[in-house]
Amino acid sequence: MALSILVLELLTLIPGFGALVKVALSAGEVALAGLFARRYLAWQTEREARGVAVAFWEMGLLVGWMLMLLAFTAASVLLVLYVLQSLGLVQGFLAAPMGGS
């Protein structure tokens, strides 16, 4: 995902052609995500119809993804806070009065 973001942003530097390639790559990523989601949901529906319980490894995978998402979200917030603090914007925001007057 991060590599995709980097490539898409580098394509911004190519005038004209870069925008067209960005559109094509983005559409391809959406199509692949849709294909994956469709196959995954079909697999889950078939398993549910057979009455097979959710496997332990699936729960572990979901918990792992959730924890990774939370970690990256927290890291992003801390990075933005660090940048704002480096620019001196956090101190001014925290020192601003909170009332309407």
49 plus 59 within the same structural domain: no
How many Cβ atoms are within 10 Å of 73's Cβ, its own excluded? 10
What's the mean pLDDT in 95-99?
62
The end-to-end CA distance of the chain, in Å, is: 46
Task: Assess if residue 101 is contained within a domain.
Answer: no
Q: For 13-31, give one letter per residue: b (16+ CB within 10 A) or e.
A: eeeeeeeeebeeeeeeeee
Q: What does the alpha-carbon distance between residue 6 and residue 76 come to, in Å, rounded to a whole number? A: 16
pLDDT score for 101: 52
Collapsing DSSP to helix, strand or coil, 9 comes out as helix
What's the mean pLDDT in 25-30?
90
pLDDT tens by residue, 64-89: 999 999 999 999 999 988 888 888 77
pLDDT score for 13: 81
41 plus 7 within the same structural domain: yes
Which pLDDT band holds residue 7 (cuts at 50, 70, 90)?
A: confident
38 plus 71 within the same structural domain: no
pLDDT score for 55: 87
Range of the structural domain that residue 31 is part of: 1-53
